[in-house]
Structure formats: structure tokens, C-alpha cells
Amino acid sequence: MQTLSTTSLQVRDNQLWILDQQALPQQKKWCPAPGVAELVDHIKTLRVRGAPLIGLAASLLMALLAEKGMSKPELAVALEVLRASRPTAVNLMNNLDRMKRALAQENFISALTAEALRLVDEDKTLCDNIAASGAKLIKPGSRLLTHCNTGGLATAGVGTALGVISRGWQEGKVEQVWVDETRPLLQGGRLTAWELGELGVPYRLICDNMAASLMAQQQVDAVWVGADRIAANGDVANKIGTYSLAVLAHYHGIPFYIAAPHTTLDPTCPDGSAIPIEQRAASEVTGVAGSFGEVQWAPENTQVYNPAFDVTPAALISGWVLDTGVVTPAQVNDGIFKISQSVV
């Protein structure tokens, strides 16, 4: 396969490498992903994360394994193992469905490689289109709030919600960004703050529980977040804490926008209650770990509830900004997301 490089993924010397997002911002460390077991471990430990990026990493690995001589039956097994590695993010399933169709072809090796590279190029275009559509909704002088990480670290391109924000900044319409730290793994504090700093976008980091206070003081003009899955009725699964922001924004009369590619749509999922929510390790809540080491602050044997995602009802969402354009609540009520993805 040709040499390839994005913010978080590289293909060099016929091997997949991922930027360790658990080590950022203190270290910029690239980790090899030579096989399925290694990539699954990277996904589960969030060294590689972001719904679009996970799907792309899995697709690229499938192509590389085929080029290295893995048989078609072995590749079929590998595909299903990768599919099961992250149950909530539907981009992974959608990408692997396309890779599965490529695998069924007689010349499956070249077909897998072509499809994986096509997915990367498509993601870059999707991000650009989302940014262009979303920036039109940003008013001059906006103070925007975002949650988790939705930039180039999570995609092959400029990102989803963060791509919109950065485009708005380039157009001179963003005054400041409020960055939720995003407990428990601090993707906002570690990753979004780092990306905004690299882009030169002014930001201030806040604890998740400070958002309500800012909104009450009229310091937030809009909320922009990404999505891991959008159900047919418009409900959205995203990083835990998103639902809280949506409720707060609704109460304070603040627009709440979702930015995501059409590959995040799941028309087969009727509503948010049908979206599987991943439960993660208790250690993420009882302490903190990173390139700086580990700290435990809760008592030993503390019982923990640690869902990775929550579901925001469609009724709380002001607009869904896709690469195909802005979808309004009225369109969602009319069933636009129930139509096949090829039509949306």
C-alpha cells in the first residue's frame, strides 16, 4: 500500500501506525498495529479513538493484512473481530460492511486496498463539507462550547464539530471556545485543548460541571458536539456528558448542534434506546492514568457506573450538520433519517 499520513494514522513500510492518544499532550508517540489483536487493544484502550478514525484504522489494517498474504477466510474472521471491538460507534460497522463487499470480490486484495484508501479520501471530503455547512450557522462573535474531541485526531480530515469551529474561527466569527474537560478520560482537556492550541483558536478549559454556570451568565452562544451513532428518529449517542449539555442548552435557550458524517447514521436503529452503550473499566473513574503515571483517589473496591456514551433525544437538538448539509428538526420528524444512507 502507498504511504499514507493523517493526524492520527500512518501507513509506512507496509504497516499501520497509530498516534497514541492516551499519551497526548505530553508525548507524541506512534504505536505499531501489525495485526488484529494489537489494533483491538489500541481501540479498547482508546489509543486510537473517534468514531470515523476507528473505522478507517480497521479498514486500513484489513487491506494491509490482505497484501501480506492473509487468506480470504482468515480475513473474514479478522473483520468480525474488528467489528466487535467498539459496539457503539456505527462508523466502524459501516466501513467494515464496505470492506466485506470488497472481500467478496475475486481480486479481493486489490479491492480491499482500493476501498480502504477510498474511505480515507472520502472522510477528508466529508469533514470539509461538514465544516463548510456548519460554519454558516455560526454567528459573528460567537462563544462556543464543545465536548470530548472531534478534530483531526478523531478523523482523517479537519474533524467534525471541531472542524466546524475551526472553520468559523478562520472566517472571523468565533471569539472563544469553551472546552469541557470531558471526564473521566479527559479527551477535552488533553486532546481538544491541544488541537485548538495548535490551530491558534482561543479557548478556555472548564470542568464538565461548570457549563451550567457559564450558560446562566450568558457566556455560551451555541454548543457543538460530534456523534458516534445517529438513530433513525434523530436520537444521538455521543460521549458521556453530551446529554447533560443538551438539557442545559435547552433550558437556557442555546442552540445545540450535532456535527457528523452520514456514515454515523444508522437507519436500522429505531431510536436511542436501541443503541448499545459500552461500559468501561471502573479504574477510569476511581483514579486517573496517563503518560504521567497513575493516581488512585477512590477507596478500594468502590462500585462504579462508567458508561462511555449517553443518548441525547432528538427533541433537544437544534440541527444535525452532515456532509450532505444541515438537517432540521422538521426534516427529522418527517423521517429523513429513516431513509437509506444513500438517499440522505
> Does residue 163 register a pLDDT over 50?
yes
Q: How many alpha carbons lie under 13 Å from residue 141 in its C-beta half-sphere?
A: 1
pLDDT recorded at residue 1 = 87
Q: Up-side HSE of residue 261: CA atoms within 13 Å toward CB? A: 31
pLDDT at 176 over 80: yes
Per-residue pLDDT at 289: 76
Name the band, by pLDDT with cuts 50, 70 and 90, for residue 254: very high
User: Is the pLDDT score of 292 beyond 80?
Assistant: no
Closest listed residue to residue 320, CA positions, set 335, 331, 306, 309: 331
Residue 211 has pLDDT above 80, yes or no: yes
291 alpha-carbon distance from chain centroid:
22
- Percent over 70 (pLDDT), the chain: 98
Q: Is the pLDDT of residue 342 over 60?
A: no
- Grid look-up 492514568 returns 289
DSSP 273: G
So what's the pLDDT on residue 87?
Answer: 87
Residues belonging to the active site: 228
What is the overall mean pLDDT for the chain?
95
Q: Is 12 helix (H, G, I), strand (E, B) or coil?
A: strand
Side by side, which strands form the sheet with 9-12? 4-5, 9-12, 15-19, 30-32
Domains and CATH numbers, the chain: 4-128 (1.20.120.420), 137-338 (3.40.50.10470)
Helices (H), the chain: 36-44, 51-67, 72-83, 90-103, 108-135, 161-170, 187, 193-199, 211-216, 242-252, 283-286, 329-333
CA distances from 94 to 33, 52, 262 (A): 21, 10, 10
Regarding pTM above 0.75, the answer is yes
pLDDT in tens, 218-232: 999 999 999 999 999
Is it the case that residue 13 has pLDDT exceeding 70? yes
pLDDT at residue 88 in the model? 84
Query: Which residues sit opposite 178 in a β-bridge?
Result: 145, 204
Mean pLDDT of 318-336: 96
Summarize the confidence of residues 70-82 as an average pLDDT. Answer: 97
pLDDT higher for 296 or 88? 296
pLDDT at 291 over 70: no
If you average pLDDT over residues 154-165, what whole number do you get?
97
pLDDT digits (tens, 9 = 90+) for 128-146: 999 999 999 999 999 999 9
pLDDT level of residue 294 (50, 70, 90 thresholds): confident
